[in-house]
Chains A and B, each alone.
Chain A
Amino acid sequence: MDRRDFLTRGKKDKAPAPQPIATRHITSGINPYAGPWTENEIVHLLKRTMFGAKKADVDYFKTRSVSQAVDELLNPTAPQPAPPVKEYVTSTQPGTPDGNIAQGTTWVNDINNDGTVQSQRVASYKKWWTGVLINQDRSIREKLNMFWINHFGNESQDVGYGNWAYKQHDLIRQNALGNFKQMVDAITKDISMLRYLNGYLSVASAPDENYGRELMELFTLGKGPGSQYTENDVKEAAKALTGWQINGTTYTSVFTSSRHSAVNKTFSAFFNNTVITGRTGATAGQLELTDLLNMIFATQETAKFICRKFYRYFVYYTIDSATETNVIEPLAAIFRNSNYNIRTVLTALFKSEHFFDVLNQNCYIKSPADHIIGSLREMNATFPPLTDWDTNYGMWNFFYANMVNTGQTLHDPPNVSGLPAYYQEPLYHEIWINSDSLPKRNQFTDIMVNSGYTRNGQRVIFNLVPYVQQFSNPGNPNDLIDDALKFIFRNQLSYETKKTIKTQILLSNQLYDYYWTNAWMAYIASPTTANFNIVNNRLKPLFQYFFNLSEYQLS
């Protein structure tokens, strides 16, 4: 699909006009951070590298140094999640056989070219991915995986194959912390990508420029001031990329040399006038692709472009000249010098004093995934065992629908540029918050606090009593509020505000703290339903209030 089709589409976001940019005198660079390592810094690191900062994870990293913590987060050891299973109802229509696999077993290796079945699998895949996010391991894996899938911008519903979407997802998942150049090589030949950007149609007689263009503009070089590739470079790249096709019975890509353009491809001065020698035969496609990527990755710009994207995804969206000089350029050098090792460059970013600079804390508007998945994780929402796939997929579907309702799709951006919050000037992350999404965010947390979501008689809800029970002194309403805010907010409320909230909610307008303390102690001494409800009835509006404050939307 052509990205430019979308440019004329009406924008439905009703975001207010951008505010003048606030003061941001931030001069720190990528020297290793050596400041305090307290709950505040750990929460900052976890909220940016994972979905939400669970208290248990914060406690875990308290006993590590900042360097150890970053190393652990960037070296996941947990096994990758099991693939999605057939949880959808088998279609009974005669034209859509889907009988090879039983419910509860995975469909990812089952070839089936029926449109209905594949659209069921696209939906199934997204539920599964939502579940993977909720059940993420203690590492950067899921947040980074989401970054890359958004980076490559495929619309899985447009491609139309659940199996293909999963295949691309898995390819990216396996490479997410590895070598970026290898990842681009693999994604170029990925069948979803061939389909989505028309590579599979591109032949020597009429090369399709779509992938060649996006490879440069969106996946590697970008359109920054230092990116000087030309229209002719796009055309020449398109020629080098001709000949790749999709085998619809094996779900693999194949290179058909007869469709490949064997002429020499000549590039502009930006690429040092590189000439890629035209080739023939079965290896021509891979050889020319390697040459093409070597040429692109030899520029200074690829590393800078990717580091800026990392920055906007993990740190903040404003990149002023100081940040470009002090952060982007040195990170890009690390990226190039490591031969594009993703783990290496991200390790440098997350260990840097710039990342922990107070000016970079608490300024990140949560994505819907941060908001929904992060809330569920931080509040220790519990789900049935994974073996109960029917209940789990239904629940995951509910949470995914809430993400969609608040503006974030998984593997289905509006166009190949990915989600606008990560590239669209000048609003960037502020795009997430608008007159439609903000009330829905609040409604989501309201529901999770009050009634939760029930499926098959099982309920996911924010269990507030056990949540506050993990704090050191929940019987003291002041400590309770301070401890809760430490994890769910990044900025602290004023004393006056906290006092008002405490009195009006936790004390039910009574005057003294002991009203809450007595109720809490009564519950601890005798955890009857009645005593539980007394404290729970006060915690519910308290947390509902916190979640509805504007502050909760920041991480």
Chain B
Amino acid sequence: MKRRDFLQKSIPAATLLPALINGYSVKAFAADSPLVQALMQGITNTDHVLVIIQLAGGNDGLNMVIPISTYSNYFNARSNVAIPQNRILSLSGTGASGLHPAMTGMQNIFNNGNMKVVQAVGYPQPNFSHFRATDIWMSASNSNQEVFNGWAGRYLNYEYPNFPTGYPNTDMPDPLAIQIGSTTSLTTQGPVVNMGMSITSATSFYNLVSGTTDPVPDTPAGKELKYIRLVNQQTQKYSTVIRNAANAVTQQSTYPTNNSLADQLKIVARLIKGGLKTRIYMVSFGGFDTHSVQVNAADTTTGGHATLLQRVSDACKAFQDDLQFLQIQDRVIGMTYSEFGRRIKSNSSVGTDHGAAAPMFLFGTKIETGILGNNPDIPINASVNDNVPMQYDFRSIYSTILEKWFCLDKTIVAGLYPPNINSQLQSLPLFKSSITCNAVVPPPPPDPVIDGLITNYPNPFTSSTKITFKTEGGHTLIQIIDTLGRVIRTLVEKDYAAAATDFVTFNGEGLPTGIYYARLQNGVTQKVRPMMKVRE
């Protein structure tokens, strides 16, 4: 046997080919498939970039986007951390909600017409563990499901099916995804290999510009370490393109100092402007686990959380300004998320505990300004168990970005998600109609806040209640959510041939008394209806 034959026989296919995994319809292409040969660049041609900003720790969404329309309930639930009503930053076009006073930068982006606030983003059966919830957000799994790869990894695996075999190449000379941080995260883990690269390892870019590398002693061990690091730098497949991209940009606008998120976003802007074809960047900013002393008691607009929000806001504003300065603003959107929000009711330590759904920000010149969804329903006398119920599933945000921003066909997008969720994905109105990749831009959606879309009778109810809802036709979903934010029933999930008014009975027998939410989802529309179960 010739050595080369032997090697070819010895290398397992699994290291070279993406695999079909746990029920996902991720397409696997053989290395010699004509499709792969033809498509060494991404399958979809786009120069769009997504910057994912992780707010680690569980950000208190209620103090970031403050419900003005239900301010008294908000204040009653959390008087020791509540932001005074007269300090809330107003947002153009709406009086219902406003921003934390530290977020003048985000207010500016919003009022300039470049930011979407999506209310109460979560998922059924929320998990309150930092680690597990982070894994869910990164993998886009259901909360009762273990998935070992990330939503962006699956997307990039679709676009660049054989990675890393054959990469980099002339069509895609750059990393597929870049994480600023010491490790590639679950978000970009593909079915077999991680599709992203990090640029802070001891030998790579980030440390060259802003960090340190452990020193090399003047010994034989030091000599060999130096040698290996040298090879590492030379052979780090992407080090040259990254360094060249960074070096190609000599001038950027001003970023705030002493702000690690700003430091990271500054590198991102530089690399995008420098010409990398990388589609996804991830940055992370921690410290949001504000169980105690979230605010200064003397002035609740200041304190730890305020500092964090200000840094986020200042960093995003500086980034947006820099994109403008570098004239790449139309290619880039940013998205913030946190693994969960916090409880409606504050605790006695002047803080808030782990909660469920929370708002997300999307910003960029192609993002349509506005607030999607309603202010969360806040009970008059919120109890310690009350949570913000989900209005939007976070996977609908992801899938909308994949569809509208990265120009993927809906059926492809659906294939990147667990089968039992893909039918529930919503295509949300996040973008301006001027984005270019879809030939047919869907008409702007009807105002989602329409009373009477979903009602129930009787309310309060003792054992069961009849839910009446209107559908415009197409996929229609009615879910029952408890105050912990968990979807406890799915009463309706079907496609209606035409617009209709229909009803379904919610049988709450055996359930504890208290508030339940009926959630209607139909196309881009969603509506949450509070219902109260009382004793007979």
B-contacting residues of A (Cβ < 8 Å)?
Answer: 15-16, 19, 21-24, 119-120, 122-123, 157, 316, 318, 358-365, 397-398, 400-401, 404-405, 412, 429-430, 433-436, 438-439, 443, 446-447, 450-451, 453-454, 490-491, 493-494, 496-497, 500-501, 503-505, 508-511, 515, 519, 522, 529-530, 533-535, 537-538, 541-542, 544-545, 548-551, 553-554
Contacts and interface: CB of A to CB of B under 8 A. Distances in A.
Contacts of A430: 224, 227
Contact of B228 (A496, A533, A535, A554): A554
Contacts of A363: 219-221, 223-224
B224 A554 contact: yes
Interface stretch (B92-100, B127-135, B469-477, B495-503): B127-135
Contacts of A534: 129, 131-132, 135
Nearest to A507: B286
Nearest to A442: B232
B202 A360 contact: no
Nearest to B228: A550
Given A398-B10, A504-B284, A545-B182, 19 more contacts: A19-B226, A122-B1, A360-B220, A404-B3, A405-B11, A433-B228, A438-B228, A451-B192, A493-B214, A496-B212, A500-B200, A508-B131, A509-B57, A510-B289, A511-B287, A515-B131, A533-B135, A537-B135, A550-B202
Interface stretch (B183-191, B327-335, B383-391, B481-489): B183-191
Contacts of A397: 10
Contacts of B215: 494
B15 interface: yes
Given A316-B220, A511-B287, A537 B186 contact: yes
A504 B183 contact: yes
Contacts of B183: 504-505, 541-542, 544-545
A23 to B, nearest CB: 5
A363 B146 CA distance: 42
If over half of A's interface residues share one DSSP class (helix, strand or loop), that class is named, otherwise mixed; here it is: helix
B512 interface: no
B201 interface: yes
A90 B70 CA distance: 79
Contact of A429 (B1, B224, B225, B285): B224
B203 A22 contact: no
Interface string B15-44: 100000000000000000000000000000
A404 B7 contact: yes
A81 B134 CA distance: 48
Contacts of B170: none
Contacts of B202: 497, 549-550
B284 A509 contact: yes
A359 B218 CA distance: 10
A453 B10 CA distance: 12
A155 B267 CA distance: 52
A80 B202 CA distance: 43
A530 B215 CA distance: 40
A365 B235 contact: no
B232 A401 contact: no
Interface of B: 1, 3, 6-7, 10-12, 14-15, 54, 56-57, 129-132, 134-135, 146, 148, 164, 181-186, 189, 192-194, 200-203, 212, 214-215, 218-232, 234-235, 237, 284-287, 289
B130 A515 contact: yes
A57 to B, nearest CB: 22
Contacts of A510: 56-57, 130, 286-287, 289
B286 A509 contact: yes
A365 B231 contact: no
Contacts of A511: 57, 286-287, 289
Given A24-B219, A362-B221, A496-B212, A19 B227 contact: yes
25 contacts: A22-B218, A23-B219, A362-B221, A363-B219, A363-B220, A363-B224, A365-B227, A398-B10, A404-B10, A405-B11, A429-B224, A434-B231, A435-B231, A447-B193, A450-B189, A508-B56, A508-B131, A509-B56, A509-B57, A510-B287, A533-B148, A534-B135, A537-B135, A545-B182, A545-B201
Contact of A398 (B12, B130, B194): B12
A435 B224 contact: no
A22 B229 CA distance: 15
A151 B285 CA distance: 55
Count chain A CB atoms within 10 A of each CB in B6, B134, B222 and give the residue with the most.
Answer: B6
A363 B183 CA distance: 26
B231 A490 contact: no
B241 to A, nearest CB: 15
Nearest to B139: A537
A490 B235 CA distance: 23
A39 to B, nearest CB: 17
Contact of B14 (A122, A451, A530): A451
Nearest to B138: A537
B57 A361 contact: no
Nearest 4 A-B pairs (CB), nearest first? Answer: A401-B10, A363-B220, A22-B223, A509-B286
Given A511-B286, A534-B135, A519 B228 contact: no
A365 B301 CA distance: 57
Nearest to A447: B15
Nearest to B15: A447
Nearest to B222: A22
A509 B182 contact: no
A143 to B, nearest CB: 19
B201 A446 contact: no
Contacts of A443: 15, 164, 193
A412 B1 CA distance: 13
Contact of A15 (B129, B222, B231, B284): B231
B221 A24 contact: no
Contacts of B284: 504, 509
Nearest to A412: B3
B177 to A, nearest CB: 15
A519 B131 contact: yes
A530 B142 CA distance: 13
A16 B186 contact: no
Contacts of A122: 1
Count chain A CB atoms within 10 A of each CB in B132, B189, B212, B218 and give the residue with the most.
Answer: B132
B186 to A, nearest CB: 6
A22 B220 contact: yes
Contacts of A22: 218-220, 222-223
B227 A433 contact: yes
A522 B129 CA distance: 11
Contacts of A316: 220
Contacts of A550: 202-203, 225, 228-229, 232
Nearest to A429: B224
Count chain A CB atoms within 10 A of each CB in B56, B131, B134 and give the residue with the most.
Answer: B131
Given A362-B221, A510-B130, A510-B289, A494 B201 contact: no
A493 B225 CA distance: 12
B237 to A, nearest CB: 7
B225 A551 contact: yes
Contact of B221 (A119, A433, A490): A490
Nearest to B134: A508
Nearest to B223: A22
Nearest to A397: B10
A541 B184 CA distance: 7
B182 A361 contact: no
